[in-house]
Amino acid sequence: MDDIVKQALAKWPHVPDCYGWLALDARGRWYLREDAVQAEGPFPQHRGSWLQHEKLLDFIGRNYEVDALGQWFFQNGPQRVYVELERTPWIWRVQPDFQLLSHTGRSETAQACLLDEEGRLYLVTERGLGLVHTLDVGLAAEAIEQGLWEPQAVQAADLPARYGYVLSPAARVQKGTLPST
């Protein structure tokens, strides 16, 4: 977490959390979901504005974390902005040496490989579960052919509970299963 964010948290410790405004799609793209977009319906059916400003994306990536309930968030100064996830909290880009690079630029190594009923490939790392980016499925197939990764069959609907993450913190708040601060 950035020092400036830690300072803001110390200065303003009781800023309300934000739900529904930020989303991560299955290709590792961030979306800003203003009130009008949220009123149209849930993510990913209603995405919002695709964020493309490099410094903003870097800031989000450096301050992207998870809470004790498995809800991913971006710590924006003193405010925690919870993230709506299309599939998983991480999107992995497979490198030519089969190392992984997350959508936030973090390097990882695959510990397990999963394949769901739709043919989507997931990798488990020390940081958690992530979906392999669609552009990197060919490289992932090479790793599998070389015996580096051995896919285990899974059901996509089971992954959030199995790996401890929440797809939609906003939906939980709306249903009253989490306190809104």
Query: pTM of this prediction?
Result: 0.89
Assess if residue 9 is contained within a domain. yes
Mean of pLDDT over the chain: 93
pLDDT at position 180: 46
Residues 83, 169 within the same domain: yes
Residue type, 117: E
More confident residue, 91 or 13: 91
Residues 77, 151 within the same domain: no
Assess if residue 180 is contained within a domain. no
Mean pLDDT of 163-177: 89
Confidence of residue 181 (pLDDT cuts 50, 70, 90): very low
Assess if residue 70 is contained within a domain. yes
133 contacts: CB under 8 Å, gap ≥ 6? 27, 28, 91, 92, 93, 94
Residues 106, 132 within the same domain: yes
Residues 8, 62 within the same domain: yes
Residues 8, 81 within the same domain: yes
List the CATH number of the domain containing 61. 3.10.540.10
Residues 80, 8 within the same domain: yes
Residues 155, 169 within the same domain: no
Residues 83, 8 within the same domain: yes
**For 71-84, b where at least 16 C-beta lie within 10 A, e where not — what string?**
bbbbbbbbbbbbbb
**Per the structure, how many domains does the chain have?**
2
pLDDT at position 177: 61
- Domain containing residue 21: 3-87+165-175
Residues 58, 94 within the same domain: no
Range name among 11-25, 133-147, 150-164 with the lowest pLDDT average: 11-25
DSSP annotation of 134: G
Q: What is the pLDDT of residues 49-108, one digit of tens each?
A: 999 999 999 999 999 999 999 999 999 988 999 999 999 999 999 999 999 999 999 999
Given a cut of 80, whether residue 8 has pLDDT beyond it is no
Residues 59, 98 within the same domain: no
Assess if residue 60 is contained within a domain. yes
Assess if residue 181 is contained within a domain. no
Residues 107, 144 within the same domain: yes
Assess if residue 50 is contained within a domain. yes
**The 3-state secondary structure of 8-74, one letter per residue:** HHHHCCCCCCEEEEEEECCCCCEEECCHHHHHHCCCCCCCCEECCCHHHHHHHHHCEEECCCCCEEE
Residue type, 84: E
Residues 33, 14 within the same domain: yes
SS3 79: strand
Q: What is the distance between the alpha carbons of residues 91 and 102, in angstroms, rounded to a whole number?
A: 6
52 contacts: CB under 8 Å, gap ≥ 6? none
pLDDT at position 12: 65
